[in-house]
Amino acid sequence: MEDCRKKNYMKFDWLIFYDMDEFLFLRNYSNVNDYLNQKVFIKCQRIQLNWFFHTDNNQLYYENRTLKERFPEKEKKWEGIKLGGKEGIKSILKGKINITIKDTHILNSKLIPCDGFGKKKEIKNMITNESDHYYYYIDHYYCKSTEEFVHKLLRGSVAYGNNTDRYMKRLLVYFSMNNITERKINYLILIII
């Protein structure tokens, strides 16, 4: 992220750092350019958006349907709390600002923060009763089905490292979001062990 920022922050008006399994939802906007080019964001240096995790919807295997069809349920237990030490928001960073990025969740407290409507305010964590979180947010399909989560688990992670504890840490996150069932545990035992 930091390498990308250094190479591009002077070239672009906005920088967005999302994962491949995250999708920006903009109600009433057909594209991100129209959304970000609103006058309300002129004084904003970072736009903070809610970051919703989706559960596995108790799906054990991959199905050939869209993510929205397969995983409509959002995780309720994580709303309003810190996620693994990170705030439950992600920010869109204004370009032409030279700061160091260590984490996309907390970019820099000195930058002028705005909510999804362009109102100047600091959002510390997921505040799901705020109206902008109904209109603008990031959908994070963290685990998908159990089968897909296992593929992700075996691939490794920058965030969780490659030490021997990495599987356990990620499994704890997975089961903190999703129902524990015998079918899932048996599937995980078969594949991982």
- Whether the per-residue pLDDT at 111 is higher than 80: the answer is yes
Which is it for the CA torsion 167, 105, 145, 21, positive or negative? Answer: negative
The residue type at 186: N
pLDDT at residue 80, as a whole number: 40
Q: Give, in degrees to the nearest 5, the angle at Cα 15 between 10 and 17.
A: 140
Residues 6+ apart with CB under 8 A from 131: 117
- Domain extents for the chain? 2-140, 146-192
pLDDT of residue 53: 83
The two structure tokens encoding residue 128: 């799901």
Given a cut of 60, whether residue 126 has pLDDT beyond it is: no
pLDDT value for 1:
78
Report the pLDDT averaged over residues 29-48.
Answer: 93
- Confidence band of 163 (pLDDT split at 50, 70, 90): low
Residue whose C-alpha is closest to residue 84's, from 159, 162, 175, 167: 159
